Amino acid sequence: MSSESKLKYSPDKRRKMESALDQLKKFTVVVADTGDFNAIEEYKPQDATTNPSLILAAAKMPAYQQLVDQAIKYGIAQGGTEEEQVTNIMDKLFVMFGLEILKKIPGRVSTEVDARLSFDKDAMVTRARRLISLYEEAGVSKDRVLIKLSSTWEGIQAGRELEDKYGIHCNMTLLFSFAQAVACAEAQVTLISPFVGRILDWFKENTDRKTYEPHEDPGVLSVTKIYNYYKKFDYSTVVMGASFRNIGEVKALAGCDLLTISPGLLGELSQDHSPVSCSLTPQGAKTCDLEKLHLDEKAFRWLHNEDQMAVEKLSDGIRKFAADAIKLETMIKEKIFSVKNGQ
């Protein structure tokens, strides 16, 4: 290309040629939200997140049966009751997916503690340490792993203990209320995952309004408020928006520390060439009209309980993750039976 023709490409024109995904990456760390690690490479995310529902979906795919079989052999070899074997297999399977994902990304993978432990702080701490020990046995440092915990009061306190006592980094998930966000910041966890799309779902289902522009989407507004609060008061915890329903929501949160996005929406963003501007900045947060809160357990429970959407979506999210964990366990039990009976 001649120097004359190069001059014709103004910054605006160059931006038109850039995908929305590439533009977004200038403002925000992009994370892939999937257990299907073959879907990750194309979009070159920094990090990746998994959850019981995503692992269940991936474990059903023929491409990943070898991982499932390896985890089952491991669990049977560990011995113990069937229940203990199933728990060991589940932990091993989650870590094996995490290990494969880590081969394809430069950053960290998030691995979730069983949602059925969401109200048992000590059990969450024990299970988290177990997951980290499995990663370390495979030669992966705990610094490349985020342990996902439900953002119940007990989950947040488990996060506090794991960070403070064991140096294990936590990703607090199923976060819908401002109370949850404040408590996580005070617990000094590494990262939170406030949900966007599930908040929108609730408002569509429970109010007369069925459509929202991205800048007025209640999920976008929730994450924006949390981001501004964290940056205004200099909390170290970072914000990773999660659970998106459309690319409008994603683009409206450009500038958020991280955004975890499904492969489907990553694909849409890579095909979209409309301009993306930075919506969230630490400087803008400093000017926002928010007051600092301190929440003990009683104040947390009251403030969270005042938010009907958050109460319903947190309990619904825990139930759904638990149901998918049970489906995965059922699948594993059937495979154990086949292995032990030589089928």
User: What are the angstrom distances between the C-alpha of 73 and each of 68, 328, 336?
Assistant: 9, 16, 9
Do residues 187 and 157 touch, judged by C-beta distance below 8 A? yes
Q: Which residues pair with 175 in a beta bridge?
A: 194
What sections of 34-64 are H helices per DSSP? 52-59
Do residues 190 and 163 touch, judged by C-beta distance below 8 A? yes
Other beta carbons within 10 angstroms of residue 122's beta carbon come to 12
Owner of token pair 């915890």: 237
> Which residue is catalytic, options 25, 148, 231, 313?
148
Q: Is 148 a catalytic residue?
A: yes
Angle at the Cα of 22 from the Cα atoms of 101 and 4, rounded to 5 degrees: 140
- Distance between CA atoms of residues 75 and 42, nearest Å: 33
Listing DSSP states for 148-178 in one string gives EEE-SHHHHHHHHHHHHHH---EEEEEE-SH
Q: Considering just the CA atoms, what is the radius of gyration of the chain in Å?
A: 21
Give the catalytic positions in this structure. Answer: 148
